[in-house]
Amino acid sequence: MPGLEDLYREIILDHYRNPRNRGELESPPAVRAEGFNPLCGDEIVVYLAVDGEQITDVKIAGQGCSISQSSASMMSAAVKGKTVAQARSTIKAFRAMMSLHGRALDGAGDGPAGDGLIGAGDGQGVGGDQGTDDERSGAEVAAAEGVVLGDLEALQGVVKFPVRIKCATLSWHTLAQALDEAATRA
């Protein structure tokens, strides 16, 4: 059984205590997307300022547990100043990291299969693009996409706590929604 230290890595707690890019942007011009976790009531609002292909600013509002808040904070840091394409690649890599297959390849699969299946279902929803790259780990997808997960890798431990995967992926769903919204405006 994984211990709490697998879930609550120091870097996660740091992002929880000192969330990056917390706040709001005037919308419009910024895109605003809202995500809810109907199971637990967590709410995330993602504000995205997009200039052409460039994500010039990101702000995060809402409330939730340490996992959802830190994941949103890390996500904002990971995509701010990047291109829309890079953000989508990061979503893809993060999604792979949160899925059962990614986990098995990472050699971290030590829970009962039933747990993992729940997690896989959750993880695959991220970004809404049910890709064909489910067999690859987060690191492999990141390498192939040319993005760096960096701090985000600390969230890998969440996969061992399947009910918390939704907490970690909520902000990513919401970011994908915001990117889609931005694309329709462009």
Partner 1 sequence: MEVTGQGGAPLDVARIKKDFPILDRRVHGKRLVYLDSAASSQKPLSVLEAMTRYYETTHANVHRGVYQIAQEATELYEQARAKMAAFIGASGPDEVVFTKNATEAVNLVAYSWGRANLGPDDALVTTEIEHHANFVPWLQLRQERGTDVRVLRLQPDGFLDLSHAEELLQGAKLLAVTAASNVLGTLPPVRRLADIAHAAGALVLVDGAQYVPHLPTDVGELGADFLAFTGHKMLGPTGIGGLWARRELLESMPPFLTGGEMIRDVRLDGFLANDVPWKFEAGTPPIAEAVGLAAAVDYLSALGMPAVRAHEEALTSYAMSALHERYGEHLVIHGPLPAHRRAGIVSFAYKDVHAHDMSQVLDQAGICVRAGHHCAKPLMRCLGVGATARASFSVYNDEADVDALVDAIGQADTLFG
Residue 15 makes contact with partner 1 by CB under 8 A: no
Q: Write the single-letter amino acid at 24.
A: E
Is 4 among the residues that bind partner 1 (CB under 8 A)? Answer: yes
With contacts defined by CB under 8 A, name the span among 7-15, 82-90, 94-102, 127-135 that binds partner 1: 7-15
Of the pair 95, 166, the CB lying nearest partner 1 is at 166
- Among 39, 51, 184, 186, which residue sits at the site for partner 1 (rule: CB under 8 A)? 39
**Could you tell me how many residues of this chain bind partner 1 (CB under 8 A)?**
20
Interaction of residue 41 with partner 1, rule CB under 8 A:
yes
> Does the protein bind partner 1 through residue 40 (CB under 8 A)?
yes
CA distance 10 to 92: 24
- Build a one-symbol-per-residue string for 63-102: x at contacts with partner 1 by CB under 8 A, - elsewhere: xxxxx-x---------------------------------
- Site of interaction with partner 1 (CB under 8 A): 1, 3-4, 7-8, 13, 39-43, 63-67, 69, 161, 164, 167
